[in-house]
Amino acid sequence: MMNDVDFMQRALELAEMGKGYTAPNPLVGCVIACDGSIIGEGFHHKSGEAHAEVNAIHSVKDKDALKRSDLFVTLEPCAHHGKTPPCVDLIIEMGIPRVVICNSDPFESVNGKGIEQLQKAGVDVEVGLLAVAGRQLNQRFFTFHEKKRPYVILKFAQTNDGFLDAYRAEGDGNAPLKVSSGSMARLVHKWRAEEDAILVGQNTVTLDDPVLTTRNWPGKNPIRLIIDPQLQVSEDKRLLSDGHHTWIFNALRNDYCENNLCYIRIDDPDAFQQEIMTYLHKSSIQSVIIEGGATTLSRFIDAELWDEARIITGPMRIGSGVPSPAISGILLSSEMVGPDLLQVYSRV
């Protein structure tokens, strides 16, 4: 027979299925158990659509069984009217006597109000089961609401001897160094599909002419962000000409949008990191993956504006070139992806 931990673990697994589609909402999974067995389950599929609790309740065939069931949910049920009605109202209406919650919700419109309403209605509420796993699942959501900025992921690929690329200059005809394998490229595109935005500096755009889409993985494209203080990127570069959404942070043009391009003025080109983070927070961007180049990565590292670093080390050696930025953090994982070593670090 399954127990409370088993039910909550299943709810966390369900929540993971919405990754890449729910922002700015969190990932939420829900399981309904009766007499030691699961009778209903659901997860939040997409922002604006039904929440996990609603999907789980609707999946239960025998609604009378709800009156003697336990509901397990990874995040505190909402108590406010947003794009959908409050989940607590439906839970109370269906007479569910016990609700087990992984994490309370830091969003100010919820933040304990859902728990309070359930308790006032006589529901037995427990909070904190598998709380560490729940925070890990929704680290983007918690960072956004608690630190008032997006969750920041640094990503770069380096040679075995610690270089991002050979030294290159615009117009010299040298292509970017291909450090990692095709298997890793597909994984990188999967990562892009899971985040709200992707950021690079103007040197990367000028020298590499990247696309920064998820063309090798099914899923949405992140909003592309360029740091280009003096608007030096030429209009024929693909980030400016291929029709996908791109935001250009610059010191010359006041805020305006034209077709797929939005220009956002930054007041201090020499200390843009926090200014950009504040703007992204106001724009409901919960996560951003920074893919280069070396100067941009180093600026965010020096400002301690990062949460996770994904470092890919390929087998080649080049002897000299652009040095990889130095990362000081906690190693979370290390694995081989084809011929490449993938290491993931946390800043704290």
pLDDT at 2: 87
pLDDT, tens digit (0-9, with 9 covering 90-100), for 144-176: 999 999 999 999 999 999 999 999 887 787 888
Closest CA to 31 of 13, 61, 7: 7
Average pLDDT, the chain: 94
Q: Where are the domains of the chain?
A: 4-139, 148-346
pLDDT at 176: 86
pLDDT at 23: 86
pTM: 0.91
Judged by DSSP in three states, 143 sits in helix
Which residues does the chain have with pLDDT short of 50? Answer: none
* Distance separating alpha carbons of residues 149 and 145, to the nearest angstrom: 7
For the chain, counts of helices (H) and of strands (E): 11, 17
Q: Which residues are catalytic?
A: 53
Topology of 4-139 in CATH? Cytidine Deaminase; domain 2 (3.40.140)
Which tokens go with 103? 């994490």
What residues form DSSP beta bridges with 151? Answer: 287
CA 150 to chain centre: 8
pLDDT at 223: 96
- Note the CATH number of domain 148-346: 3.40.430.10
User: CA torsion sign, 193 to 135 to 68 to 109?
Assistant: negative
Question: Which alpha helices (H) appear in the chain, and where do they start and end?
Answer: 4-16, 52-59, 87-93, 113-120, 131-137, 139-147, 182-194, 202-208, 238-241, 272-282, 294-302
pLDDT, tens digit (0-9, with 9 covering 90-100), for 302-333: 999 999 999 999 999 999 999 999 999 999 99
Judge if 4-139 and 148-346 fold alike in CATH terms: no
